[in-house]
Structure 1
Amino acid sequence: MRHQELLDAVIDGIQRVEDLARILGISPSTVRRGLAELEQAGKVVRTHGGAVPSPTGGELSWTQKSRRHAAAKRRIAAYAADLVADDHVVLLDAGSTTTFIAERLASRFGPTVATNGLGPMTALHDAEGVELIVLGGRVRRRRGSIVGDYARGVLDRLTADIAFIGADGVVPGRGINCPSPELAAIKELQMRSAREVVVVADSSKANAAEHHYWAVAPGPHVLVTDDGIGDEDARTFDADPSCRLRVVATAGDPITPAATD
C-alpha cells in the first residue's frame, strides 16, 4: 500500500478505518499500520476508529490554492478563455486556474464544457449559454476533483476541441506533476481526448516536482504561464520540441500575451 493513497483518502473525507479498508481494497490492520506511520510523519491525527488530516500535514485545498498567485492565474485564464470558440467542445480539468477559465466562459453562448472539477462545475451550473457535462466518479473534496473509472466512459466517447489542464508542477520532457496516480490518470485521459492540449500553470509551477506522480502529455501542447517565469526556466520549455510556451503579462491587457516560440 502506498501511504500517499491512504493520505489522499483521509484528506478526501474517508476517515474511518473500515471505510478506508473497503475503498482501498486492503485489510483494516494494514490501514491502522499506515495511519500510525502517517501520524508519526505529522500527516494525520489519529481519532477513535480512524484519522483526520493534520492541520499542517495535508495538501492545500483547491479554494486555498485559488488565493495563491490569484492575479497571475486570472490573467492566464483570460488568455485561455479567449482560445475558445462559441462552437467548441472544451475539457476543463479540476483546479483553481481552470475555475477562473470557467468563470470567463460562463457569459458565453454556445460552448460545451466537460469537467471533472467542482470549481468549474460551480462556476458554470447557472450558465444558460453553456452545455455542461460533468465527468462521473469519486469526489476528492479537498482537491475539488472527480476521479475514477467512471470518467473513462465519458472521455472514451468524447473528442474535445481543446483541453485546459491544471498542474501542481510542469517539467519539460517529464510531464505534469500530480499528488496521486488517480489525478495523473484523469489528466492523461483528458489530454488524449482533445485535439489541442493547453496546460495552464502559473510561473511558480515551472520545473516544480513536489509529488511522486506524473501525467505525460501525449503529444504537442501549449503551456500558458505568466511573466514571473525565470529566463532559465523559459529556456528549458523553449528547448522542448513538444511544448509551445505562451507567457502572459501580469500587468496591462490580460488578453494580449507575450509569446515565445
Structure 2
Amino acid sequence: MKVARRREAMLQAVLSGMTEVAALCDHFGMSEATVRRDLRALADEGLILRTYGGAASVSAHAPEESLEERRHSFQAEKDAIGIAAARHVADGDTVFLDGGTTTAALARALALAGRRDIHVITNNLLAVQSLAGSHVPLTLIGGEVRESSMSTLGALAQLALTRITVDKAFLGADGVVPGRGLCEATPEQAYLKECVIRQAASVFVLVTADKLNRDSQQHWAPIEKPWTLITDATPSHPSLHAFETLAGVAIESVAADDVALN
C-alpha cells in the first residue's frame, strides 16, 4: 500500500475511534515503528492529535455549556462521584475544591456528612453555598469572578495558591485526555488548575463519563504527578482503557445510584 493511501486509511481509522497504537498495528498488520511514524506525520499535518499510546481526533472548539445546563446534566452521576470523593478526605486534611458542578457535589457530600475535622480551600462559589452553613472550616481564595462557572481565577487566585499547600486537590474539567491532561475553555482556568496541582500532595480528577477523552476546548493543564480518576464510567467503558494503561493513574468507577454517605 502506498504511503499516502495507507495514511489516509489510518486517519479514517483514528476518526472512527481506533486510537491505540496496538490496535492500529493489528488492524493494518504493520510494525509499531511504522504506525508511530504515520501517526506523527498525520499529527504534523494537524489532522490528529498524538496522545499517550496512540492518537485522538482533532475536535472543533465547542461552545461552553451554560452554568444552568451543567447544573442539571448528569446530576445523579455527579452526586455519586462527589460521595465517592468525600470518602478520600481523612480527618485533619486540608483539601482544595476546584470550580465546577462535580466538585460542588463533593462540597454537598462533605456538608451532609457533618465534617468538622477538615479544612476546605476553594475557588468554587457553588461549593461555598453548600459549606458556608455547615461546620466545615472554609477558605475562599480571591480573584476575578467568572460568572459562567461561578468560580474565581486570575492573578490574585494564582498568587494565593503560591502561599498554601493542600493534602488533596479535587479537580473538575471540561475534558480529560490521557497524556495531555485537563481541558478548559480559557487559559486562566487551565493555568489555575496547574497551580493547584503543583501545591497538592495528592490529586483527584472528578469527571462524568462524557468528559473522558473529550478535547472540545483549547486550553490544557498537564498532570505531571500520580493522580486518581473518579468517574461514573464503568470498568468496561471503552474510554477508560487508555487511562488504565497510563502510568501513575488510579481509576475509581462509581455507580450513579451509589448515594450512601457511609
Do both share a fold (TM > 0.5)? yes
2:234 touches 2:254 (CA, 8 Å); kept in 1?
Answer: no
Q: Give the counterpart letter for 1:112 in structure 2.
A: H
Aligned residue for 2:66? Answer: 61
Give the match for residue 150 of structure 2.
144
- The amino acid of 1:235's aligned partner reads H
Secondary structure (helix, strand or coil) at the match of 2:197 reads helix
Give the Å deviation of 1:215: 0.8
Equivalent pairs, count: 199
Which amino acid in 2 is paired with 1:102? A
Instruction: Tell me how far apart the structure 2 counterparts of residues 252 and 102 of structure 1 sit (CA, whole Å).
Output: 16
Partner of 1:207: 213
State the Cα distance separating 1:249 from its structure 2 match: 1.7
> Who is 2:51 aligned against?
none
Q: CA deviation at 1:152?
A: 2.4
Q: Look at both structures and tell me which one has the larger radius of gyration over its CA atoms.
A: 2
**Aligned twin of 2:132:** 125
- Cα gap change, 1:118/1:174 in structure 2, threshold over 3 Å: closer, same or farther? same
The answer for the alignment partner of 1:79 in structure 2 is 84
Give the distance between the partners of 1:250 and 1:187, measured in 2 at CA.
Answer: 26
Q: Which amino acid aligns with 2:151?
A: S
Whether contact under 8 Å (1:171, 1:206) holds in the other structure is: yes
Question: Do the aligned residues in 2 keep the contact of 1:63 with 1:96 (CA within 8 Å)?
Answer: no
Amino acid at match of 1:237: F
After TM superposition, give the deviation of residue 160 of structure 1 in Å.
0.5
Q: Which runs of 5+ in 2 are unaligned?
A: 1-61
- For structure 1, the 5+ residue unaligned runs are 1-56, 257-261
Superposed, which structure 2 residues align to 1:99-114 within 5 Å?
Answer: 99-106=104-111, 107-114=114-121
Query: Which residue of structure 2 lines up, in the alignment, with residue 157 of structure 1?
Result: 163
- In the TM superposition, 1:1-261 aligns within 5 A as 59-106=64-111, 107-127=114-134, 129-228=135-234, 231-251=237-257
Which letter maps to 1:100? Answer: A
- What is the letter of the counterpart of residue 152 of structure 2? I
Q: Is the 2:80–2:258 contact (alpha carbons within 8 Å) kept by the matching residues of 1?
A: no
User: Which letter maps to 2:245?
Assistant: A
> Share of identical aligned residues, percent?
35
Q: Structure 1-normalised TM-score?
A: 0.72
The CA distance in 2 between the partners of 1:100 and 1:253, in whole Å, is: 11
2:11 corresponds in structure 1 to none
Residue deviations 1:108-140, cap 9 Å, x none?
Answer: 11211110111111111112x211111111000
Contact 2:79 2:259 in 1 (8 A): no
The 1:146/1:229 distance shift into structure 2, 3 A limit, reads: farther
Deviations 1:61-89 (A, max 9, x none): 33420211111111000000111113110
Partners of 1:64 and 1:174 lie apart in 2 by: 26
Q: TM-score, normalised by structure 2?
A: 0.72
Deviation at 1:105, TM superposition (A): 1.3
The amino acid that maps onto 2:133 is D
